[in-house]
Amino acid sequence: MHTRFILLNTSHAGNVGASARAMKVMGFTDLVLVAPRWDNVLRREETIQRASGALDVLHNARIVATLDEALEGISHLCATAMTPRDFGPPTLEPRSHFAALAASQAHNPQQGVAFLFGSERFGMRNEDVYRCHTCLRIPSDPQFGSLNLGAAVQVLAYEWRMALGGFTLQEAMPASELADAAQVGGLLSHWQQALTAIGFLDPESPKKLMPRLNQLFNRAQLTQEEIHILRGVAKAMAQAGSDKR
């Protein structure tokens, strides 16, 4: 399902950059600006700085003169207006609407969804809101419900991404391979020698020290790298014990 973010009559270049960044971190790239204040807004220094690396979104963004030009391929249009309009579309909260929308459109992945954001100065015109299928209201403090444009884009981008299934969490680094029983056994033997060398273990009366260490290492599910580290510790202990003699 294709997703587009449309900014109407944006007056602050920094908000364009912030919106691009908000989209990119949620995996969206289609940004359209309708009659922004600055013709060169995509190249302005403030825009680029606030994008914080989302330069591909800015590079692929389009500037058009009218809303009609921004709606090609879009089958469901959501307004983001805090105040409901008479005769306008129903006002809904994003999370519940997105869940239903994602479920209904899963059978037609070729359809496009767009989110429409008004000007920072005067919001959205009635005629633009009336063209939408729904009006989204982000739940907020009734005494202070004003959101910055970039923040509003971030909230809706996050909620829509979650409705689409979110992202699969991946390890930052490949997981190390777990040590096998033979490697743990070798480590235990090495530690037994080292503990004896420093006088911590009496080989004539070992009691249950080594079985307990064995259970400790098993619970820890040591990796091969950790085995190497602990063998290094055992080697240092053994050397220290030898130096004392």
Q: What is the pLDDT of residue 83?
A: 62
Q: What is the mean pLDDT of the chain?
A: 88
Please tell me which residue, 51 or 1, carries the higher pLDDT value.
51
The Cα–Cα gap between 55 and 70 comes to 20
What is this structure's pTM?
Answer: 0.69
The Cα–Cα gap between 134 and 188 comes to 66
Please tell me which residue, 208 or 83, carries the higher pLDDT value.
208
Q: Judge contact between 13 and 33, C-beta under 8 A.
A: no
pLDDT single digits (tens) 32-59: 999 999 889 999 999 999 999 999 999 9
Q: Is the pLDDT of residue 151 over 60?
A: yes
DSSP 220-240: HT-BHHHHHHHHHHHHHHHHH
Please, which pLDDT band fits residue 169 given cuts at 50, 70 and 90? low
Instruction: Give, in degrees to the nearest 5, the angle at Cα 216 between 214 and 222.
Output: 90
- Mean of the pLDDT values across residues 231-243? 87
Phi, psi (deg, nearest 5) at residue 41: -60, -30
Q: Which one-letter DSSP state was computed for residue 178?
A: B
Please, which pLDDT band fits residue 175 given cuts at 50, 70 and 90? low
Which domains are assigned to the chain? 2-163 (3.40.1280.10), 181-243 (1.10.8)
- Mean of the pLDDT values across residues 212-231? 92
Phi, psi (deg, nearest 5) at residue 89: -70, 160
Closest by CA to 23, choosing from 114, 121, 158, 120, is 158
Q: Is the pLDDT of residue 172 over 90?
A: no
